A and B are shown apart, each in its own frame.
Chain A
Amino acid sequence: MPLLEISNLKKSFVAPDGSKHVVVSVERFALAEKSLVALEGESGSGKTTFLHLIAGILTPDSGSINLAGREMSGLNESARDRLRATTIGYIFQTFNLLQGYTCLENVLLGMSFGPGANRAGAEALLKRVGLGGRLAHYPRQLSTGQQQRVAVARALANRPKLVLADEPTGNLDLKNARESLALIREACKEEGAALLLVSHDREVLSQFDDVQKFVQLNQGVRTEVPA
């Protein structure tokens, strides 16, 4: 059974004028355990919404998301939070590090909503991403590349089965983007986590054997005007 199995997933938003915008409409998508898959898509194609739905941050209008053997639609919000904390690691384009927290605290906080904070584990992770000497640094004291590495360490903190990466290199220069991507891929392989990465960057996509076009996967971004 795949780690992630999606069928007939739909998500729409209602605009202020009352029109309904269908942003995600995915008939079928599956992701095997430990696989590394990239989704190619342009900005505004609904990629981020798709990842938010998988992470349980958004709830779909209809359809099924089965993650690690658990059907998301059958879970209440609290259970979805728990599932997200224990099963998913999320890497954002803007890193989303907590600015008032040190590198170590950012990782520890990620752990604390999952199996529990483990200082030694957090330190080891930061060491793994090359920030062993920056534990007490605040995000503002780090370069963007280093911040991204903290975000990677935090995403892997709870040994997730699935890592979602939303344009993880979008804010990095070419050199940092390559290093960061390599780090994410290696770390996922080492941790045995599947990776679902979305990007519109061909340089990034070229690193993946399995690249799917989101525009083909997503049946349509369209607007339905109410009758």
Chain B
Amino acid sequence: MTIWLIVFKSLRQHALSTSVTALSIALAGGLLMSVWAVKEQSRATFTGVNAGFDAVLGARGSKLQLVLNAIFHLEASPGNLNWNDYLDIQKNPNVELAVPLAVGDNYRGYRLAGTTLDLFTRAEYAPGQRYSVAPGGRLFDPTLREAVVGSFAARKLGLKPGDTFHPFHGLIFDEKNQHSETYLVVGVLKPSNTPADRVIWIPLEGIQRMSGHDPKAATDISAVLVKLRAGSAIAGFHLDMLYNKQGNRLTFAWPIGRVMAELFDKIGWFDRVLALIAYLVAIVATASILAGIYNSMNERRREIAILRALGAHRGTILSTILLEAASISALGMLAAFAIYLVIVTAVAAIMRAQTGVVLEPLRFNPVMFWAPLALITLGALAGIIPALKAYRTDVAENLSPIS
């Protein structure tokens, strides 16, 4: 009780330096927790998102580009493959489901993807979960110019069943490249928290035969989403050999999770830089605790001497200073959670808008346990030097006023 009172009084007496130091701890802690949580959640999410498929077949090129294009609806397609390639893999006995995908157009920046109804009626984007249309809508008729809009895209574009729109050529919105076709929105997908939420889905032939597209490529597709039969683990290796090693025309990106993990390995340096910045901020913040308390020691010598004259042990004084340092860190860490929430919520919003992948700021991550523990310990350690100075305060010498 006594120690807490002394700590509280001291924190209040040095409110400005306490606040500034706690804020720097908050920044370090918030940054550290954000970097960690975003890194781990995004890695887990990106490597876990596969839209319910095991692999992607596409034109010869980068597997990563293929996965980003076909699964995450990012990046341009590495090229086209012809309809027969789709038919071949569809007939492969190890393949349970093959869904063709064609891209190349957008509506105000949101990409149009042509596909078959299999994507909605047979594919499961997560175990037991299929893309479904919200009440008041229906799936498109493959023979008509109809569209089903992902929930995020619908909200951002303000599209609802009954609305019509003209697609634009290319994946990047340019007002000059408007197609003449008119599409009717017949449904909006229920939110799936997957990249599909950011896509406007139309019949495959819609993309293939859009005005201005090369008629010679009218049967070409951008990629095939492939789901292998359960239990045929060897099938992936077999198809990998077939397309990637023996063939040289197509690329079989399998397994999707590993391809994405490679991406994260490549950009891992970025996380490490951010983490390093957070560590540096933590070190600076800790040093400021040390400097702040140490500098206040001169003006506190008399107070310490009085406490000692009243009977306080040296150990009590030492503990008080250590606790004060730890308390500044603890206050900072409370604020760090607010900073963490702000950062991760902002990152989650950006990531959702850009990729459709959803991060959960409130999901527990071990960093929320160890970062506060580490920073509070570090804060307490920073208090050791001033605490030792306080411990050694000469009582008799400091009982008189300091002029």
Physical interaction between A and B = yes
Interface size on B, residues (CB 8 A): 26
Q: Which of A77-124 contact B (CB under 8 A)?
A: 77-78, 81-82, 84-86, 90, 92, 94, 96-101, 105, 109-110, 112-114, 117
Question: In the assembled complex, which residues on chain B have CB atoms less than 8 Å from the CB atom of A109?
Answer: 2, 5-6, 307, 310
Tell me how many residue pairs across A and B have CB atoms closer than 8 Å: 71
Interface string of B180-191 (1 = CB under 8 A from A): 000000000000
Interface string of B294-316 (1 = CB under 8 A from A): 00000000110011111111111
- Report yes or no: B396 in contact with A57, Cβ–Cβ below 8 A: yes
- Report yes or no: A98 in contact with B400, Cβ–Cβ below 8 A: no
Question: In the assembled complex, which residues on chain A have CB atoms less than 8 Å from the CB atom of B303?
Answer: 98-100
User: What is the minimal beta-carbon distance from B303 to any residue of chain A, in angstroms?
Assistant: 6
Q: How far is the CA of A112 from the CA of B395 in the complex (A)?
A: 19
Q: How far is the CA of A58 from the CA of B316 in the complex (A)?
A: 19
A55 interfacial by beta-carbon distance below 8 Å: yes
- Report yes or no: B309 in contact with A96, Cβ–Cβ below 8 A: yes
Closest to B303 in A: A98
Contact A77 to B314, CB < 8 A, known contacts A100-B12, A101-B9, A117-B2: yes
Question: In the assembled complex, which residues on chain A have CB atoms less than 8 Å from the CB atom of B395?
Answer: 52, 57
- Report yes or no: A92 in contact with B399, Cβ–Cβ below 8 A: yes
- Report yes or no: B310 in contact with A113, Cβ–Cβ below 8 A: yes
Question: In the assembled complex, which residues on chain A have CB atoms less than 8 Å from the CB atom of B307?
Answer: 98, 109, 113
- Report yes or no: B313 in contact with A86, Cβ–Cβ below 8 A: no
Question: In the assembled complex, which residues on chain B have CB atoms less than 8 Å from the CB atom of A58?
Answer: 396
Closest to B312 in A: A113
Q: How far is the CA of A55 from the CA of B310 in the complex (A)?
A: 10
- Report yes or no: B1 in contact with A96, Cβ–Cβ below 8 A: no
Question: In the assembled complex, which residues on chain B have CB atoms less than 8 Å from the CB atom of A49?
Answer: 396
Interface string of B381-403 (1 = CB under 8 A from A): 00000000000000110011100
- Report yes or no: B309 in contact with A100, Cβ–Cβ below 8 A: no
Question: In the assembled complex, which residues on chain B have CB atoms less than 8 Å from the CB atom of A55?
Answer: 309
Q: Select one of A86, A98, A112 contacting B306, CB under 8 A.
A: A98
User: What is the minimal beta-carbon distance from B16 to any residue of chain A, in angstroms?
Assistant: 14
Question: In the assembled complex, which residues on chain A have CB atoms less than 8 Å from the CB atom of B316?
Answer: 113
Question: In the assembled complex, which residues on chain B have CB atoms less than 8 Å from the CB atom of A101?
Answer: 9
- Report yes or no: A112 in contact with B1, Cβ–Cβ below 8 A: yes
Please tell me the size bucket of the interface on A: 20 to 34
Question: In the assembled complex, which residues on chain A have CB atoms less than 8 Å from the CB atom of B308?
Answer: 57, 81
- Report yes or no: B313 in contact with A81, Cβ–Cβ below 8 A: yes
Interface string of B214-245 (1 = CB under 8 A from A): 00000000000000000000000000000000
Question: In the assembled complex, which residues on chain B have CB atoms less than 8 Å from the CB atom of A110?
Answer: 310-311
Interface string of A42-57 (1 = CB under 8 A from B): 0000000100100101
- Report yes or no: B311 in contact with A82, Cβ–Cβ below 8 A: yes
Question: In the assembled complex, which residues on chain A have CB atoms less than 8 Å from the CB atom of B314?
Answer: 77-78, 81
Question: In the assembled complex, which residues on chain A have CB atoms less than 8 Å from the CB atom of B1?
Answer: 112, 117
Closest to B13 in A: A100
Q: How far is the CA of A97 from the CA of B306 in the complex (A)?
A: 8
- Report yes or no: A94 in contact with B401, Cβ–Cβ below 8 A: yes
Question: In the assembled complex, which residues on chain B have CB atoms less than 8 Å from the CB atom of A100?
Answer: 9-10, 12-13, 303
Q: Select one of A86, A92, A94, A97 contacting B311, CB under 8 A.
A: A86
Question: In the assembled complex, which residues on chain A have CB atoms less than 8 Å from the CB atom of B6?
Answer: 109
Interface string of B114-151 (1 = CB under 8 A from A): 00000000000000000000000000000000000000
Question: In the assembled complex, which residues on chain B have CB atoms less than 8 Å from the CB atom of A94?
Answer: 400-401
User: What is the minimal beta-carbon distance from A90 to any residue of chain B, in angstroms?
Assistant: 6
Closest to B400 in A: A94
Q: How far is the CA of A109 from the CA of B309 in the complex (A)?
A: 12
Interface centre among A81, A99, A117, A154 (most CB of B within 10 A): A81
User: What is the minimal beta-carbon distance from A91 to any residue of chain B, in angstroms?
Assistant: 11
Q: Select one of A52, A85, A97, A117 contacting B396, CB under 8 A.
A: A52
- Report yes or no: B312 in contact with A81, Cβ–Cβ below 8 A: yes
Contact A81 to B396, CB < 8 A, known contacts A96-B306, A100-B9, A109-B2: no
Question: In the assembled complex, which residues on chain A have CB atoms less than 8 Å from the CB atom of B312?
Answer: 81, 85, 113
Question: In the assembled complex, which residues on chain B have CB atoms less than 8 Å from the CB atom of A84?
Answer: 309, 311
Question: In the assembled complex, which residues on chain A have CB atoms less than 8 Å from the CB atom of B315?
Answer: 78
- Report yes or no: A112 in contact with B12, Cβ–Cβ below 8 A: no
Question: In the assembled complex, which residues on chain A have CB atoms less than 8 Å from the CB atom of B401?
Answer: 94
- Report yes or no: A96 in contact with B2, Cβ–Cβ below 8 A: no
Q: How far is the CA of A96 from the CA of B307 in the complex (A)?
A: 10
Pull 22 A–B residue pairs with CB atoms less than 8 Å apart, ordered by A: A52-B395, A58-B396, A78-B314, A78-B315, A82-B311, A84-B309, A90-B310, A94-B401, A96-B306, A98-B307, A100-B10, A101-B9, A109-B5, A109-B6, A109-B307, A110-B311, A112-B1, A112-B2, A113-B2, A113-B310, A114-B311, A117-B2
Besides A52-B395, A57-B309, A81-B308, 6 new A-B residue pairs in contact (Cβ under 8 A), listed by A number: A77-B313, A84-B309, A96-B306, A100-B12, A112-B1, A117-B1
The 10 closest A-B pairs by CB, nearest first: A85-B311, A113-B311, A112-B2, A100-B9, A96-B306, A100-B13, A57-B395, A52-B396, A81-B313, A84-B311
